[in-house]
Structure 1
Amino acid sequence: MILFPAIDLKAGQVVRLAEGEMNRATVYGDDPGARARLFGEAGATHLHVVDLDGAFAGTARNADAVASILASFPGHVQLGGGIRTRADIDRWLDAGVWRVVIGTAALEQPDLVRTAAAAHPGRIVVAVDARGGMVATRGWANVTDVAVADLARRFEDAGVAALLFTDVGRDGLLKGVNLDATVALAKAVSIPVIASGGAAGIEDIRAVAEAGLAGVIVGRAIYDGRIDMAEALAVGRP
């Protein structure tokens, strides 16, 4: 299981949102590169980075901040937020991003995911973001009538590296990972699933590992000191 510390970007700052709402942001610093370096020094091998402004705008808005993270972090960087064209995908992968995360475009342009996954094996992740079990898009602002499992099954044979499942109603609130829903999704498809949203303590990390999920993204709980990085990383090691 991979532990992904999260760096969410808003106006060049490191923030955490509550339930994906931009007006409920807590700022944790104004130097994303320095934050990435600290995670690397603490032993993290992977990061999950989101351009929040880009997710709403539909195009990159924090490119300089992402560049500073790539220059500062020695491991693998997974990036999402506003990546909705093939040019966006190719540009970020060429820039050194390990995997790109496609959310809104996965629902609206499924062929984009398929062709990108074929061109970049193992480097495309589909974000399955949910409010009440239904897919949320465009920075989680729009809730569709598409069920989470239905979206995931569309990419069963597409060759994507993983699904990233986020329970938006728990994100940034320290309510605990929605393990039941995440495991249900993992059982519905053969694609590896990464858990996101709500991790509050080391027990969440252990539960995700014991469930056999591919990874877990942790944000506020690390920033607030509720989860010790070394302990969490040790849980994820085989």
Structure 2
Amino acid sequence: MASVILFPAIDLKGGQCVRLIHGDMTQATVFNDDPAAQALVFERQGFEYLHVVDLDGAFAGKPMNAAAVDAILAALNKMPVQLGGGIRDMRTIDGWLGKGVARVIIGTAAVRDPELVREAARKNSGKIAVGIDARDGLVAVEGWAKSSELTAIELGKRFEDAGVCAIVYTDIARDGVLKGLNIEATLALADALAIPVIASGGLASIADVERLLQPDCARLAGAISGRALYDGRLDPQRALDLIKARRTS
């Protein structure tokens, strides 16, 4: 699997690096008071791409942790950043891309304002991703506080011809609880779409990384890891070495 990327995650709440359980803002564990320092740790460990989410922004509908994101961007040397949370208009998209974010992830607005995604993708080739967060098969919006009537596949198909560079697919039931990635649902989405799909939610151990490197997962673009990296269940060097070995085999 030549293209797999393991994205370490930084979720921002109140300027701190946290992890939630099932997206519940009342169940936040603070892992680092300095998100920029955490980002630098991930870069020095050898990760290729950083995943950042403004959790407060996802609920508020506008950026709420801009200072923390700015600090992350300033601290990193070369590692690109993909950012989601509260990105619901062109001004915000242009603002983040102008500051050096490599890729923005549009979630709620992809459901509510699909034309925004299309316009942004036309203007910013290769820099617009769609976040699809699903609970019981249906897409959730507004920081996962509300459910829509759309399935993940239905939403993804809306953007097949829009120039979207990736879909970040999260199984909310597995997010933050270390139950393992929902490979079956993620592959079903990837099979239905031409857009590359990134798996998110539940990555728990090196076994999940090994699973991602199996032939049937070759069509996935990678996976996001959060809590498992923070609490030591996933050894970053071992994971990155496995991925490197597979690329060169």
TM exceeding 0.5: yes
1:235 Cα deviation after fit: 2.9
2:9 is the alignment partner of 1:6? yes
Unpaired runs of 5+ residues, structure 2, are none
Out of 36, 39, 42, the residue aligned to residue 36 of structure 1 is 39
Matches of 1:53 and 1:197 in 2, distance apart?
Answer: 19
1:21 Cα deviation after fit: 0.4
Q: Which residue of 1 aligns with 2:87?
A: 83
2:232 is the alignment partner of 1:225? yes
2:187 is the alignment partner of 1:183? yes
Alignment: residue pair count: 238
Matches of 1:149 and 1:216 in 2, distance apart?
Answer: 18
Give the alignment's Cα RMSD to 1 decimal: 0.7
Runs of at least 4 residues of structure 1 off by over 2 A?
A: 234-237
1:236 Cα deviation after fit: 2.9
Matches of 1:38 and 1:231 in 2, distance apart?
Answer: 16
**The residue matched to 2:88 in structure 1 has which SS?**
coil
2:53 is the alignment partner of 1:50? yes
Contact 1:197–1:217 (8 Å) recurs in 2: yes
Using structure 1 for the length normalisation, give the TM-score: 0.99
**The residue matched to 1:150 in structure 2 has which SS?**
helix
Contact 1:167–1:197 (8 Å) recurs in 2: yes
Unpaired runs of 5+ residues, structure 1, are none
Matches of 2:41 and 2:16 in 1, distance apart?
Answer: 15
Q: Which residue of 1 aligns with 2:64?
A: 61
**The residue matched to 1:27 in structure 2 has which SS?**
strand
Matches of 2:213 and 2:109 in 1, distance apart?
Answer: 29
Paired residue type of 1:145? E
Q: Which residue of 1 aligns with 2:75?
A: 72
2:122 is the alignment partner of 1:118? yes
Q: Which residue of 2 aligns with 1:216?
A: 223
Matches of 1:163 and 1:16 in 2, distance apart?
Answer: 21
**The residue matched to 1:152 in structure 2 has which SS?**
helix
Out of 165, 168, 172, the residue aligned to residue 172 of structure 2 is 168
Using structure 2 for the length normalisation, give the TM-score: 0.94
Matches of 2:238 and 2:192 in 1, distance apart?
Answer: 31
Contact 1:195–1:208 (8 Å) recurs in 2: no
**The residue matched to 2:121 in structure 1 has which SS?**
helix
Q: Percent identity, aligned pairs only?
A: 56
